[in-house]
């Protein structure tokens, strides 16, 4: 059933031929790297380069695409959070850079809305604390106001972090422009975590001093993080390579791959990609229409990215399976399909078409029918208690590497 190319390395490595309809997820390798980046990585791997000069070239490319004054490439967007926070605390003080995570007398408080303290696979606040900073939550999880942000600023405040993600609370939060205006009025720089965002210019326009993007998600580069912003701030992020950034450095292949991916972004046929994704969504919608216990509809991306997903609502009584069990069934067997199930306890899962290889949408449709038919044939509703489902996932993590 799975359509594999002749050069698919997964079988050789003993890996399952998964189809990714979850999205740009790190746990699945993030995205399909664009051919231009693959070529750049291959070509630079056998050569020596002066890393400072290579990173300088990356800075020029990042600035061109984002409208920033400068840019820097690091190991990941998570690393970018830690390094940007570190830079806000140390500035260009080389001695202070070597002392981190011991902040001594440095300003070390970092503000973040309580509704933005989420996990992207690891806690956002941990990425802040790795630099030695103290996290200061603003407001409550479902409610934050400008006066709370202003009141939290003190002589110890080094920076404020703003997270743009489908994980954050999507109501009752301070808009970025207001957030930045309040911070800037008190001399506090704003760091925006926009790892999974398409728009490379909006956040700087709204007042961010530094914006952090993933180089390996929508951009289709190798695993990396991109920092874009004020020249002095970016320089101070670069200087962290003499301290905690040493363990978060990116290699020549990563930098060259990011440059190529950014250059390819300028020429990408975004409209054509959206049309191809829409054909997959329409196929899945047609496949699921009329299925007992299944309601499907196309929904937009919650943070405003120009892409849609299929939301599949599962009525366990009629479909004879829960949303999370259906996700597990699709992910099992010789033809695994990994869906977006982080909100499955709410009774639905999502199908994201952005990382499909040609013709994989048909395989996904067939697997949906296969597992839904299997559930309908069962004598009892397939319903693992959700708490038990979560505990099983935790136990599996602790079994690694076995």
Average pLDDT over residues 65-86: 96
Burial class (CB in 10 A: 0-12, 13-18, 19+), 364: buried
CA angle 341, 138, 162 (to 5 degrees): 55
Domain with CATH 3.90.1150.180 in the chain: 19-29+269-399
Name the pTM for this structure.
0.91
A 10 A CB-CB count for 212 gives 32
Q: Which of the following CATH numbers is that of domain 35-267: 3.40.50.300, 2.60.40.1730, 3.50.50.60, 3.40.640.10?
A: 3.40.640.10
- What is the token pair recorded at 176? 């970025």
Query: Would you give the DSSP letter of residue 147?
Result: H
Domain with CATH 3.40.640.10 in the chain: 35-267
- Comparing C-alpha atoms, which of 203, 200, 196, 172 is closest to residue 120? 196
In angstroms, the CA 203 to CA 212 distance is: 10
Kindly indicate the confidence band of residue 217, based on its pLDDT and cuts at 50, 70 and 90. Answer: confident
**Residue 391 in this model has a pLDDT that exceeds 90:** no
**Residue 260 in this model has a pLDDT that exceeds 50:** yes
User: Average pLDDT of the chain?
Assistant: 93
What fold characterizes domain 19-29+269-399? 3.90.1150
Residue with tokens 């999974």: 196
Kindly indicate the confidence band of residue 6, based on its pLDDT and cuts at 50, 70 and 90. Answer: low
314-370 pLDDT, tens digit each: 999 999 999 999 999 999 988 899 999 988 999 999 999 999 999 999 999 999 999
């Amino acid at each position: 059933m799975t359509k594999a190319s002749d050069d698919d390395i997964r079988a050789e490595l003993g890996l399952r031929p998964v189809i990714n309809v979850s999205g740009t997820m790190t746990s699945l390798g993030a995205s399909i790297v664009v051919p231009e980046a693959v070529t750049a990585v291959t070509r630079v791997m056998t050569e020596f380069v002066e890393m400072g000069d290579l990173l300088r070239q990356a800075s020029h490319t990042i600035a061109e695409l984002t409208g920033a004054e400068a840019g820097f490439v690091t190991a990941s967007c998570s690393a970018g959070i830690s390094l940007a926070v570190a830079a806000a605390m140390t500035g260009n003080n080389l001695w202070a850079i070597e002392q981190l995570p011991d902040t001594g007398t440095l300003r070390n408080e970092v503000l973040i809305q309580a509704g933005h303290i989420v996990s992207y696979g690891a806690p956002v606040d941990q990425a802040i604390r790795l630099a030695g900073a103290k996290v200061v939550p603003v407001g409550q999880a479902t409610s934050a106001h400008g006066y709370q942000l202003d009141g939290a600023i003190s002589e110890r405040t080094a920076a404020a972090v703003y997270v743009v993600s489908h994980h954050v609370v999507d109501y009752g939060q301070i808009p970025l422009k207001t957030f930045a205006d309040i911070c800037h009025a008190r001399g506090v720089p704003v760091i925006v975590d926009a790892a999974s965002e398409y728009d490379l210019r909006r956040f700087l326009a709204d007042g961010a001093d530094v914006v952090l993007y993933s180089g390996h998600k929508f951009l289709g580069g190798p695993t990396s993080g991109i920092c874009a912003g004020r020249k002095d701030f970016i320089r101070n992020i670069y200087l962290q390579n003499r301290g905690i950034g040493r363990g978060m450095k990116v290699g020549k292949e990563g930098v060259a791959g990011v440059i190529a991916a950014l250059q390819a972004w300028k020429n990408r046929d975004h409209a054509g990609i959206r049309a191809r994704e829409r054909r997959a969504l329409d196929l899945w919608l047609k496949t699921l229409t009329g299925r007992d216990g299944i309601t499907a509809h196309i929904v937009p991306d919650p943070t405003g990215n120009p892409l849609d997903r299929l939301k599949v609502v599962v009525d366990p009584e009629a479909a004879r399976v829960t949303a999370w069990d259906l996700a597990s069934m699709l992910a099992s067997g010789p033809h695994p399909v990994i869906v977006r199930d982080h909100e499955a306890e709410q009774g639905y899962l999502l199908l994201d078409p952005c990382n499909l290889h040609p013709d994989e949408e048909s395989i996904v449709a067939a697997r949906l029918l296969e597992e839904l038919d299997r559930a309908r044939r069962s004598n009892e509703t397939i319903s693992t208690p959700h708490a038990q489902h979560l505990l099983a996932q935790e136990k599996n993590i602790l079994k690694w590497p076995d």
